[in-house]
Amino acid sequence: MLDRFNEITAFSPYGGQLIRETVTGRTGGRYEPENELLVREGEARDMFVYVPASGCPDAKQCQVLMVLRDESGEDSARQAMDTYGLAELAEDRHFILVFPEPGPKGWDHAGGEEDMDYLSRCFMALPGGKGRVGGFIGMIFYVGLTPAACAFLMTMSAKRPTHVAAVVLAAPFPAGYAIPAGADAPQAAWLCGRNAQAEAYLARVNRSGPEKEEGPVAVRTGTENPNVRHMVYDGPLTAASMALAWEMLLSETRRWTNDTYGTYQARTDFAARGFVPHVADSRLGVNGGFAHTWYEYVPPQLRGREEKVPLVFYLHGIGCVPLYGAEQSGWHDIADREGFIVVYPKPAVNKMWNVWDDPSLPSDHAFLLALLEYLKDTYPIDPTRVYVTGFSMGGMMTHSLACAYPELFAAAAACNGYNLGYLSDLASQAGTLPGNVPVPAGAKPGPSPVRLLADRKKAERDWRMPLIQNAGLLDGVWPMTPEKDPMGFLGTLDYWKRYNGVALTSLAPTGPYESGLTADESFYDGADGRFLHQRWHSPEGGPALLELVLAKRMPHALDLRQLELAWQFLKKFSRSADGALHTGG
């Protein structure tokens, strides 16, 4: 996949140079949601880094290729770059090259824990190094150039699969090496030449189907997850075969940390899919002519047609970018099947949504409302079926819009984010808000404009807002207790219960389920029973207006099936021009 859609925004003062970086034994890194590895301390070692002069996309969309060789020093790193055409490939595809230095005894493929920690520290050291760039943990790829390096990478794959998105094995294993028992987790891999032990292992953990020929490559695809593959190239690693491995496997691979061993999800070729980019577009005329960014997706079957269709907003999390949110959520895939338009906007500043509509910052509320009007003028949008959804701080913005503008949105789906813009009083906070959200520098004391607006509208009319809340059971707040989460998710659920006329059974959770909450309905969803699904009904009848879906084994992340459940919830509701809520969609 040749990606030309992600904005190139990261440029290094050492772009186009091979630089030596020191990786201290205590390398950690600032908290970065969804993009940090557990790093143990160890001995300081160096690495060599090549950041393309052509630049890199945002870290959440940036790939890292680590090349393991047995020799140390700049000359060996440069020789590997030259032999395999890595600098040219990195410049064309905008990824970061890393050459970790082997230890005094080489790569420890028997145990490997210290070397694995070192590689994790290499990744975490990137943003704070001289190169000043970083990548995404789900797109760290490794090339093993020697037998010892290849064996070590297979050991790492067996023991720490979530740290290894894909491997390229350019050499056979050393004599006597056996892949250790480990997680038996899926692993994307490219093998140069036949390797019976590796192929048998990969076929087993990937639950591979039969081998198929794709040009010079034999491909086996997972029967349970077609996004995990291993490939065998009948020839040595060269510049040409490295470029082929990148095109056929690495560029198509992403491993999200949303389960015990992560999940391989399909990457999106935004250009081929027909996404419409609006980068730094000032046509909306809000925020003093601020140039806003958003991406539109209209399914092929809807292009050029005039019949009214629903619209879904998806709002990414803090520190992210819209195309990251697109790949994370896959709303465009649901849109293809269900026939609606989806838009992926970007906050005005700092990749952080102004959930309070604080006047000291550009108004993301004004931006999104103006964007809604622009989309209605541009496409045949059904104004009765406009929905908002988002992840993490995008989930917070989802809550904010839903309570402040119930006349515009028929329903909402918040993922891993609570109603911060309504519930938080900025004047009572110091430094950061819950969830490591920084307080706006110019915030004024008192209730947020969102709270004032939402309360005024609710006082004028007894609105109803259908809302489904998604989260992971390992997100740090479950099972819920008032002491653990006095304002966040518990306060949010109670807010929407009151809003929708749902009786508060108790402020103190007493439920027997993993959430710690009671509900009118509680059951396990999904073929594997992964999701705890709870519903609260209003006394007015009809479908539940408040639902909670919690994924087992998942931290602060998303499972695509949660978005499927979200759509099944959202599409039940519509809102007519007079503000009345209707069901039965």
Q: What is the pLDDT of residues 466-475, one digit of tens each?
A: 999 999 999 8
**CATH number of this structure's domain 270-583:** 3.40.50.1820
pLDDT for the residue numbered 437: 60
Of residues 29 and 417, the one with the higher pLDDT is 417
Give me the torsion for CA of 478, 483, 488, 494, rounded to 10°: 90
Confidence of residue 539 (pLDDT cuts 50, 70, 90): confident
Does residue 435 carry a pLDDT above 60? no
> Can you state the angle between helices 393-404 and 489-499, rounded to 10 degrees?
20
* The residue to which tokens 């690693």 are assigned: 237
Is residue 38 very low, low, confident or very high in pLDDT (cuts 50, 70, 90)?
confident
Lowest mean pLDDT among 24-28, 231-235, 378-382: 24-28
Under the banding of pLDDT at 50, 70 and 90, the label for residue 40 is confident
d(C-alpha 552, C-alpha 172), whole Å: 38
Confidence at residue 436, expressed as pLDDT on a 0 to 100 scale:
53
The CA-atom distances, in angstroms, between 413 and each of 136, 140, 407, 564 are 26, 31, 16, 11
| For residues 188-196, average pLDDT | 97
- For 337-382, give the DSSP string: HHT-EEEEE--SSTT---TT--TTS--HHHHHHHHHHHHHHHS-EE
Evaluate if residue 427 carries a pLDDT over 50. no
Q: Give the mean model confidence (pLDDT) for residues 161-185.
A: 96
Handedness of CA 352, 356, 359, 362 (dihedral sign): positive
pLDDT of residue 429: 44
Closest by alpha carbon to 312, among 301, 298, 302, 327?
298
pLDDT for the residue 265: 97
Dump pLDDT digits (tens) for 563-583. Answer: 999 999 999 999 999 999 999
Residue 506 has pLDDT above 60, yes or no: no
Q: For residue 311, which of 575, 117, 509 has the smallest C-alpha distance?
A: 575
- Average pLDDT on 350-373 reads 94
Q: What is the pLDDT of residue 31?
A: 55
pLDDT of residue 442: 60
Give me the residue label for tokens 């040749």: 2
Helix, strand, coil proportions of the chain in percent (round to 5)?
A: 30, 25, 50
What is the average per-residue pLDDT within 6-22?
97
For residue 30, the model assigns a pLDDT of: 53
What phi and psi, each to the nearest 5 degrees, are found at residue 45?
-140, 160
Closest by alpha carbon to 472, among 353, 390, 562?
A: 562
What mean pLDDT, rounded, does the chain reach? 93
Average pLDDT for 489-499: 92
Q: What are phi and psi of 215, to 5 degrees?
A: 65, -130
pLDDT in tens, 302-354: 999 999 999 999 999 999 999 999 999 999 999 999 999 999 999 999 999 99
What's the whole-model pTM score? 0.95
Read out DSSP for 172-239? PPPTT--PPP------EEEEES--HHHHHHHHHHHTB---EEETTEEEEEBSS-TT-EEEEESS---H
CATH code, residues 15-176+185-264: 3.40.50.1820
Inter-residue contact 38 to 2 (CB < 8 Å): no
Which pLDDT tens digit goes with each residue over 91-111? Answer: 999 999 999 999 999 999 998
> What is the rounded average pLDDT of the residues 178-205?
97
- For CATH 3.40.50.1820, the residue range(s) in the chain are 15-176+185-264, 270-583
Residue range 369-398: mean pLDDT, rounded:
98
Question: Quick check: 428 pLDDT over 50?
Answer: no
Q: Cα 250 to chain center, whole Å?
A: 18
